[in-house]
Amino acid sequence: MWQKLVGDSSFFLALLLFDRDLAEGYRGLSCRCGGRLHRAAYPRKPRGGPRGLPEGYGLRESFCCDRDGCRRRLTPPSLRFMGRRVYLGAVVLLISAMVHGITEKRAAEMRTLVGVSRRTLERWRKWWREVLVKTQLWKAIRGRFMPPVAEVELPGSVLTRIVARSAPDRVMAMLELLSPLTGGSNWTVAL
């Protein structure tokens, strides 16, 4: 089920539309210095997505203060990108959910599917089980599930517990849960 979603361009296009909607909500905000925020999208070279995505798919929505001397950047949350990772967030999530214990055979399958190396798979696995679980965000997320999810089986243990009408909706819900980790901004804006 997850493998099919990794190659579904319509799913990835829906993520693009969600990201644009999220960014639109930031358009009218101002910087904490009082300056106006201007659109300042920057190019990314995302890996792992299906063929046929539009040329602008790799643009990361962002805003920049217009005041000289400030130039703070506000990067809204994203459903496409997971922080600074080069692989698309959905790819990181889905591939990590498919790999329960990395065997040579599974590593070869993932390399064929999206071009990810075994070393990268192991880094992702470590992030889910050692880094994410220490964040404030995870502490808030895990409280939503009773009985508690198995942290050693992340992210699959959460994906299987999300109630949604379809697999793509379940993945989008998980990406939304993780979206606070995806923005590059840790400063507040004046409303």
- Would you kindly state where each structural domain of the chain is located, as residue ranges? 2-181
- pLDDT of 65 over the 50 cut: yes
Q: 28-37, 59-68, 144-153: which range is least confident on average?
A: 28-37
pTM of the model: 0.88
CA distance 43 to 187: 22
Q: Residue 191: its pLDDT value, please?
A: 33
The helix (run of H) or strand (run of E) holding residue 108 is: helix 104-114
Confidence of residue 136 (pLDDT cuts 50, 70, 90): very high
Greatest distance between any 2 Cα atoms in the chain: 55
**Is the pLDDT reported for residue 100 higher than 50?**
yes
Confidence of residue 32 (pLDDT cuts 50, 70, 90): confident
- Write out the two tokens for 102: 């990395």
Both tokens of 59, joined, read: 């643009």
User: Can you tell me the mean pLDDT for 70-76?
Assistant: 89
Q: Is 71 left (phi over 0), alpha (psi -120 to 50) or beta?
A: left
Identify the burial level of 133 via C-beta atoms within 10 angstroms of its C-beta, where 0-12 means exposed, 13-18 middle and 19 or more buried: middle
Q: What are phi and psi of 121, to 5 degrees?
A: -60, -40
Average pLDDT estimate for 66-81: 91
Residue 184 pLDDT exceeds 70? no
Mean pLDDT of 164-185: 89
- Write down the pLDDT at residue 1: 65
Task: Using only the alpha carbons of the chain, give its radius of gyration.
Answer: 17
Share of the chain above pLDDT 90, in %: 63
- What does the pLDDT look like over 145-167, one tens digit per residue? 999 999 999 999 999 999 999 99
Edge to edge, what strands does the sheet with 63-65 contain? Answer: 37-39, 63-65, 73-74
Give the pair of three-digit tokens for residue 137: 């965000």
